[in-house]
Amino acid sequence: MRTYLDFEKSIAELESKVEELRSLETNGNAVSVADEIAGLQVKARKALKDTYAKLDPWQKTQVARHPDRPHTIDYIEGLFEEFTPLAGDRCFAEDHAIVGGLARFRGRPVVVLGQEKGDDTQSRIERNFGMARPEGYRKAIRLMTMAEKFSLPVVTFVDTPGAYPGVGAEERGQAEAIARSIERCMSLTVPLIAIVIGEGGSGGAIAIASANAVLMLEHAIYSVASPEAAASILWRDSNRAKDAATNMKITAEDLQELGVLDVIVEEPLGGAHRDRDAALQSIGDQLAATLEDFEGQSASDIRQQRRDKFLEMGVAQ
C-alpha cells in the first residue's frame, strides 16, 4: 500500500476512490465505472501537481524522508553494473551505514559510495538509520584514495540525518574522521560528483559531498543540521522543527541560489518514490552529463576547480 504524508490527504482520498471503483470493476460489476475512474484520476493528478508545486520547506523535509523513497542501494543497483562492494576501514570495523565499492557506470569504471538508511526495521537498525560512525568515514577515505590511485571518478550518494553522535563514535574520533574525509574529498585529483538524494544533514553529509559538482534531487534537503537539531539548539524545543526548516534555506531552490549546489535534478510528479524508474533515469542522465564535463581535464585542474568552488561560497559580491 502507498504511504501518504499529512499534506496529501486530498490526494489519498481521490486515489482510494479510484482503487475502490477498480475493485468493483474487477469483481464483475455490471455497471461500467471506467468513465468515473478516468475522471477521478484526472482530479487526483491535478491535486498532486498543485500540491507539489507549492511545497514549503517542512513538507519537502517530509518528502525527503518518505519511507518509500529510493535509497543509495536502489540507485547503485539501478544505475551501475558489476558493483563489487568493499568493506571495512582497515582500522576498527565495518560500518553498514556507508556502502561503497567498485562499479561501472554506463561502461565506465568508477568508485561509488553513499549513506544507506535501510528500508525495513531490521535493515534500518543494521544501517543505523544512515548515521555513520568514524569507521564509515574512514572507509570512505579508503575508497576515495583507491579511486585516485587508479584514476577512477568518485560518485557519492548523500542521504543521512547526520553523523552518529553516540559515545562510542565520539571516543573513536568522529569529528576527526569527518574532517579527514572532507580533506580527502578536497585533495582528490579525480572528479568527485555528489548527489543529494534524500537528507543531507550536517557534517555527516558534507564529509562525502565536498565535490566538484553537487547534484540534488528536487525534493531533497541539505542543511547544516537537521531541522529538529537546529530547533533544539536555537529554541531548546525540537517541536519547532518546522520553524527551523522554514528559516534554514534547506531546499534545492534556495541552495542553488546560494551557490551551494550545481544542478537540481527534476523528480517525477509526486516525488521519486512514486516512480522509481523515472527517478533513476533522471539521475543517470544528469550524472553522465556531469562526468562528461570533466573529460580531458588534468588532475591539477580538477582539484583546483573543487577548491575554488568552495572558497567562493559565502563571498559577498
Band the pLDDT of 316: cuts 50, 70, 90: low
pLDDT of the residue at 283: 97
pLDDT of the residue at 29: 57
Alpha helices in the chain (DSSP H): 9-26, 34-52, 57-64, 72-79, 121-126, 134-149, 167-171, 174-187, 202-206, 227-235, 241-247, 252-258, 276-293, 299-311
* Residues 137-152: tens digit of each pLDDT: 999 999 999 999 999 9
Question: pTM of the entire structure?
Answer: 0.92
Q: Is 226 a residue whose pLDDT tops 80?
A: yes
Band the pLDDT of 105: cuts 50, 70, 90: very high
Band the pLDDT of 25: cuts 50, 70, 90: low
Domain boundaries, the chain: 6-54, 61-311
Q: What is the DSSP letter of 267?
A: P
**Distance from CA of residue 286 to its chain's centroid?**
14
* Residues 44-74: tens digit of each pLDDT: 899 999 999 999 999 999 999 999 999 999 9
Q: What whole-number percentage of the chain has pLDDT above 70?
A: 97
Mean per-residue pLDDT over the chain, rounded: 92
Q: What whole-number percentage of the chain has pLDDT above 90?
A: 81
Measured between alpha carbons, how far is 170 from 281 in angstroms, rounded to an integer? 39
- Of 29-33, 56-60, 109-113, 278-282, least confident by mean pLDDT is 29-33
Comparing C-alpha atoms, which of 309, 262, 287 is closest to residue 153? Answer: 287
pLDDT of the residue at 34: 78
Q: Is 30 a residue whose pLDDT tops 60?
A: no
**Of 159 and 15, more confident:** 159
| CATH classification code of 61-311 | 3.90.226.10
pLDDT of the residue at 317: 59
Q: Is 107 a residue whose pLDDT tops 70?
A: yes
Q: Is 32 a residue whose pLDDT tops 80?
A: no
Amino acid at 295: E
Band the pLDDT of 35: cuts 50, 70, 90: confident
* Residues 251-295: tens digit of each pLDDT: 999 999 988 999 999 999 999 999 999 999 999 999 999 999 999
Q: What is the mean pLDDT of residues 181-201?
A: 96
Measured between alpha carbons, how far is 248 from 192 in angstroms, rounded to an integer? 26
Q: What is the mean pLDDT of residues 230-242?
A: 92
